[in-house]
Amino acid sequence: MDKGKPLIVVAAALIDGDGRVLVQQRPQGKAMAGLWEFPGGKVEEDELPEAALIRELREELGIDVEKACLAPACFASESLGERHMILLVYICRKWRGIPQALEAPAIRWVRPLDLHGLDMPPADKPLIGLLDALI
C-alpha cells in the first residue's frame, strides 16, 4: 500500500539540573488527547528537523534553544494508520527562559523512572528506557 511520504516529527527530551525530564500533556481536540509527550511537533516541508524543533520549543514552551544544544539521541517509527511517522528525538540540557505550558494544558518535570507510569503516545514510549540509560 502506498502511504506517501512519512510524517517527520521532532521531539526534545529537555533535562534539568536535577536530571528530570519535561513532558507535556496533549490538548483536548487533538489525537491522543490527555497523553504525556516530549515537546515537539511536525517538521514543515521546507524545514530542517533542528529548526522545526527550535520553533516548536519556542511556540509550546517559550524557551530559546540553540542548534548546538540539540544532541540527536534516537528515533522511532510508528504507523499512524493512513501514514507512517518517524519521530526524531534530541536531548537538550541548555536553553534560555523558563518553560511554560503555552499550548499544552499542563507540563511536568519527571524523573526518568517515573516516565514508566505515564500514559504516552506509542512513538514516545521506546525513549523511556533510553533516557533511563542516558541521564
Q: Would you count residue 9 as binding ligand DCM (CB under 6 A)?
A: yes
Size of the chain, expressed as the number of residues it contains: 135
Closest of 73, 32, 69 to residue 54, by C-alpha? 69
CB of 78 to ligand DCM, least distance (A): 7
Residue number with CB closer to ligand DCM (95 or 104): 104
Radius of gyration of the chain (CA): 14
Residue number with CB closer to ligand DCM (38 or 95): 38
Taking every pair of Cα atoms in the chain, the longest distance, rounded to a whole number of angstroms, is 46
Q: Would you count residue 99 as binding ligand DCM (CB under 6 A)?
A: no
Residue number with CB closer to ligand DCM (50 or 124): 124
Q: SS3 of 54, please?
A: helix
